[in-house]
């Protein structure tokens, strides 16, 4: 993310100009749905976690949020904000970058493209700050452990962590593809099987780089007082020489904050810092409309917005970022 926000807005207007002049083709784009993963629950895979203090360990987390500035049926204009949080004991260091961007295409194409951009920006940010970590420190990514072109994080990020001995984990806020052998939610099934206050279920599936899956899929419960269970992917180079439970146990030290009990506070902070205020989004919105008027594009762009935003108007929503829904991509 090397462009300035002002330069990004100019690029957006240039791309809208090309769209207005040339249109776009809805062909040539195929969506591949991620296959469901069925697991026959095995109680022997559940191991207890040790509650530890982890006083000398750094936990670095990265997350990216997306908010919608403008949208039509055929394009969307978004602001990406990627933030990192570095936590050690009670000290927190953090930073962020913002980037406005346009995506041409219908809502399905935009939804998939948005995901690619978020993974790209998170990878870039992590690579910029990874030198603050030492061997056996942790890098926590939001999502699953897919790496490689158009499906996951940068492979160079994985390789850098492996070279430095950094404990790279990918933790998902939700895990809709994981099911038990009866098609039910796997997190819930394993939770009801477990007899420990803190535990790991490993592996649900072993890493398979042929599928771009670089980590063993596991389930973890990190706080006794919380019922939350999360998917946690542990990179393959870590489980070659370490016990999975020992690798995960230090996370218990950062998963008792009352703001996000059961979820690592570093990831929560990165997510929180990635949020953009409505006032900042309104500033971007107004600057963009100013440029559109200068280029003589405002009327056409406004007509396309009006073509799709009447349901929003009925619900009192003036700007897309006032009410973010999945349909808003």
CA atoms of 106 and 111, how far apart (whole Å)? 9
Q: What digits encode the pLDDT tens for the residues 117-128?
A: 999 999 999 999
Res 324: pLDDT: 58
For 66, phi then psi, to 5°, come to: -125, 130
Spans of all domains in the chain: 5-34+56-176+230-328
Q: What digits encode the pLDDT tens for the residues 291-324?
A: 999 999 999 999 999 999 888 888 888 888 887 5
Number of H helices and E strands in the chain, helices first, is 10, 11
CA atoms of 329 and 321, how far apart (whole Å)? 11
SS3 content of the chain, % helix, strand, coil (to 5): 40, 25, 35
Res 296: pLDDT: 96
Q: Mean pLDDT in the chain? A: 92
Q: What digits encode the pLDDT tens for the residues 233-252?
A: 999 999 998 999 999 999 99
Q: Using the predicted structure, report yes or no on whether residue 55 has a pLDDT greater than 90.
A: no
32 exposed, middle or buried (CB, 10 Å; 0-12, 13-18, 19+)? exposed
pLDDT bin (cut points 50, 70, 90) of residue 328 is very low
Res 327: pLDDT: 44
Res 27: pLDDT: 65
State the DSSP H helix or E strand holding residue 226, giving kind and residue range, or none if neither: none
Q: Using the predicted structure, report yes or no on whether residue 329 has a pLDDT greater than 70.
A: no
**CA neighbours closer than 13 Å in the CB half-sphere of residue 156:** 11
The whole-number average pLDDT for the span 257-261 is: 95
What is the model's pTM?
A: 0.92
CB atoms within 10 A of CB 67: 23
Res 255: pLDDT: 97
Q: Using the predicted structure, report yes or no on whether residue 216 has a pLDDT greater than 80.
A: yes
Specify the 3-state DSSP secondary structure of 102: strand
Res 131: pLDDT: 97
The whole-number average pLDDT for the span 88-99 is: 95
Q: Using the predicted structure, report yes or no on whether residue 1 has a pLDDT greater than 90.
A: no
Residue labelled with tokens 């399905």: 108
Q: What digits encode the pLDDT tens for the residues 263-294?
A: 999 999 999 999 999 999 999 999 999 999 99
Residue labelled with tokens 């980590």: 215
Q: What digits encode the pLDDT tens for the residues 122-152?
A: 999 999 999 999 999 999 999 999 999 878 9
CA atoms of 243 and 50, how far apart (whole Å)? 12
Q: What digits encode the pLDDT tens for the residues 23-46?
A: 887 765 555 666 789 999 999 999
The whole-number average pLDDT for the span 97-126 is: 94
Res 57: pLDDT: 97
């Amino acid at each position: 993310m090397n462009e300035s926000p002002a330069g990004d807005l100019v690029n957006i207007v240039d791309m809208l100009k090309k769209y207005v002049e040339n249109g776009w083709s809805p062909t040539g784009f195929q969506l591949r749905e991620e296959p469901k993963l069925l697991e026959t629950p095995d109680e022997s895979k559940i191991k207890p976690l040790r509650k530890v203090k982890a006083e000398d360990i750094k936990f670095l987390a990265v997350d990216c949020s997306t908010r919608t500035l403008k949208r039509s049926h055929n394009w969307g204009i978004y602001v990406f904000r990627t933030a990192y949080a570095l936590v050690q004991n009670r000290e927190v260091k953090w930073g962020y970058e913002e980037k406005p961007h346009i995506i041409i295409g219908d809502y399905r194409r935009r939804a998939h493209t948005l995901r690619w951009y978020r993974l790209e920006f998170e990878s870039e940010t992590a690579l910029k700050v990874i030198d603050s970590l030492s061997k056996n420190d942790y890098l926590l990514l939001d999502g699953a452990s897919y790496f490689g072109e158009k499906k996951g994080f940068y492979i160079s990020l994985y390789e850098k962590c492996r070279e430095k001995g950094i404990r790279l984990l990918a933790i998902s806020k939700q895990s809709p593809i994981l099911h038990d052998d009866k098609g039910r939610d796997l997190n819930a099934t394993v939770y009801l099987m477990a007899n420990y206050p803190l535990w790991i279920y490993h592996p649900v599936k072993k890493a398979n780089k042929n599928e771009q899956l670089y980590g063993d899929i596991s389930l973890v419960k990190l706080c006794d007082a919380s019922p939350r269970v999360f998917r946690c992917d542990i990179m393959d180079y870590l489980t070659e020489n370490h016990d999975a439970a020992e690798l995960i146990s230090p996370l218990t030290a950062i998963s008792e904050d009352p703001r996000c009990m059961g979820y690592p506070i570093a990831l929560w902070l990165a997510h929180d810092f990635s949020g953009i205020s409505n006032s900042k989004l309104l500033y971007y919105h107004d600057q963009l409309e100013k440029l559109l008027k200068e280029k003589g594009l405002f009327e056409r762009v406004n007509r396309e917005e009006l073509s799709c935003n009447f349901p929003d108007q009925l619900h009192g929503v003036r700007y897309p970022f006032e009410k973010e829904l999945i349909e808003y991509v």
